A and B are shown apart, each in its own frame.
Chain A
Amino acid sequence: EIVMTQSPATLSVSPGERATLSCRASQSVRSNLAWYQQKPGQAPRLLIYGASTRATGIPARFSGSGSGTEFTLTISSLQSEDFAVYYCQQYNNWSPVFGPGTKVDIK
């Protein structure tokens, strides 16, 4: 089974600053990777699929990059509504596992 890891576990960022989150797969998942945002008490929301394609309605400040085993989610200028937990998920095989998440909180 592919194992997904994310770093850092917690990222403290000031509003307006850039946030860079990392996701790593234990083996290549090509570009078959999605990112989700989850706020407290809410269901996850799809942000990015195909490693770099924004889902419908997702602001341009969110961008994804990477392929193979190394991926990055960048939030170019953090807004108050972006403080949340972010998960990556691979869908390259029939066990679409999630990473452990990165919490982005206010510095």
Chain B
Amino acid sequence: AQSVTQLGSHVSVSEGALVLLRCNYSSSVPPYLFWYVQYPNQGLQLLLKYTTGATLVKGINGFEAEFKKSETSFHLTKPSAHMSDAAEYFCAVSVNSGYSTLTFGKGTMLLVSP
């Protein structure tokens, strides 16, 4: 079985500052990793995903994440925060099996101040 831990239920940054949202996973087989964003009163939107290959993954809205197998981590970063980045971010893990489902972390609320 797989699991996801997101460190910090809330992260506050100033506009223009670096965004770092932490995600650690547990999986007995090579994982597929995802970051989703949820804006208020909306569904989840995929930011980026890692399946195989290059460990640095670029996503939408300037976000990127790096898969580090040795650290079982998949942290999400963005060099410069915008006010519009304020939302809840979810890390999720899946495995490439016949009946694959997503296991989500508890989420991290990103607050961006002017």
**B is bound to A:** no
Chain A residues in the interface with B (C-beta under 8 A): none
Chain B residues in the interface with A (C-beta under 8 A): none
